[in-house]
Amino acid sequence: MAANKKINKLFIALIAGTLLGCASGGIPISTNTKYPIEVLYENQPLERPYSEIGLVEISNEDSLTARQTKDKRMMYRGNDAKTKELLTARLVMKAQKIGADAIINVRYKYYTSVKSEGYMLSGLAVRYRGE
């Protein structure tokens, strides 16, 4: 009986961890990549004065492929770390086009359903003041 309780607790923890990982995109965005402008993710403060330019965002939604729906364990879904870095580079280019010196509060969201998956990457484009 005690073994069953331990297995149930482990199963619940595994499911909760999987769901939390899916909600945040699972694989984190790398913070080691150097971009032409500063990129600060959620909870990373910008230590200099700035003016807000506006929200920049990229998103996409696609139908799931046969490979993604073949296995009910949701294998082969989402973007890997390298793809997230490329998406961040696209967001940086979009911010640069509107004159940003940095993007702050960058957030990545991934979602999936029975037939499709998608992502949204967004952040606030800012320009430094006093320089």
Residue-wise pLDDT for 53-107, tens only, equals: 999 999 988 887 776 777 666 666 667 788 889 899 999 999 999 999 999 999 9
What domains, with CATH codes, occur in the chain? 27-128 (3.30.110.70)
Q: Containing H/E element for 39?
A: strand 38-41
pLDDT band, residue 115 (cuts 50/70/90): confident
Strands annotated E in the chain = 38-41, 50-63, 102-112, 116-128
- For residue 66, which phi and psi values (nearest 5 degrees)? -60, -35
Check whether 4 has a pLDDT greater than 80. no
Q: 73 or 2, which is more confident?
A: 73
Q: For residue 29, what is the DSSP state?
A: P
The average confidence (pLDDT) of the chain is: 77
Query: What does the alpha-carbon distance between residue 59 and residue 29 come to, in Å, rounded to a whole number?
Result: 15
Question: Tell me: the pLDDT tens digits for 30-59?
Answer: 557 889 999 999 889 999 999 999 999 999
* Tokens standing for residue 111: 């979602």
